[in-house]
Chain A
């Protein structure tokens, strides 16, 4: 199994350019996520999706857009690249299900991560 595949692995952009980071998973997971990781820091959630056609903002969504037209794909779009968006971007997926019953709660399987896209904006 390929798992989570991210393309490209590396990219250099000029300020103001736009690009799309691709992410695909072959595990039939319903949830998908985009994170960014700045040097020496932990990952921060940008956007996530609970299924095709449904997306929601994470902790740091400004400057990014996402769409989810299929279960497998979850592209991340940068419209006007800025130096502050220089980072490593990780895509992840998981299967989350909702337990019915008293209170109700979500249970899920671990998140599976891709190898990342290293993006520099100059």
Chain B
């Protein structure tokens, strides 16, 4: 079963920032937090990942709480193309060799 909890759905307006929350209260010291998204009728697409400190890339930013029990994916300016299901995944690089365990994710709707 998935080790993270996310809201089922969120709405955003186009060109506004979006903050997608994720709880991972059972995270251990070597577990990473990965985010993937799945556009309609496509396979999942990698967004970002991090361990302890905040991370930025061209797609998004990842803010990880100091106790690492929660994180937030930040889309700085939502576009219609960002409408997708976003998965927050706690990845165990030790015993499970980094296998991904997907939950249901958060379905993001973007209004024009």
Residues of A within 8 A of B (CB): 4, 31, 33, 35, 40-45, 48, 50, 58-59, 90, 92, 94, 96, 103, 105-108, 110-116
Contact = CB atoms under 8 A, between A and B. Distances in A.
Contact of B46 (A35, A107, A111): A111
Given A112-B46, A115-B42, A105 B94 contact: yes
A100 to B, nearest CB: 14
A40 B99 CA distance: 21
B100 A45 contact: yes
Nearest to A109: B46
A92 B43 contact: yes
A45 B43 contact: no
Which of B30, B44, B49: most chain A CB closer than 10 A?
B44
Interface stretch (B11-19, B72-80, B102-110): B102-110
Given A106-B94, A108-B93, A110-B34, A41 B104 contact: yes
A105 B93 CA distance: 6
Contacts of B101: 45, 59
B99 A44 contact: no
A45 B46 contact: no
B43 A48 contact: no
Contacts of B49: 110
B57 to A, nearest CB: 11
Contacts of B94: 103, 105-106
8 contacts: A42-B87, A45-B100, A48-B99, A105-B30, A111-B36, A111-B46, A111-B100, A113-B44
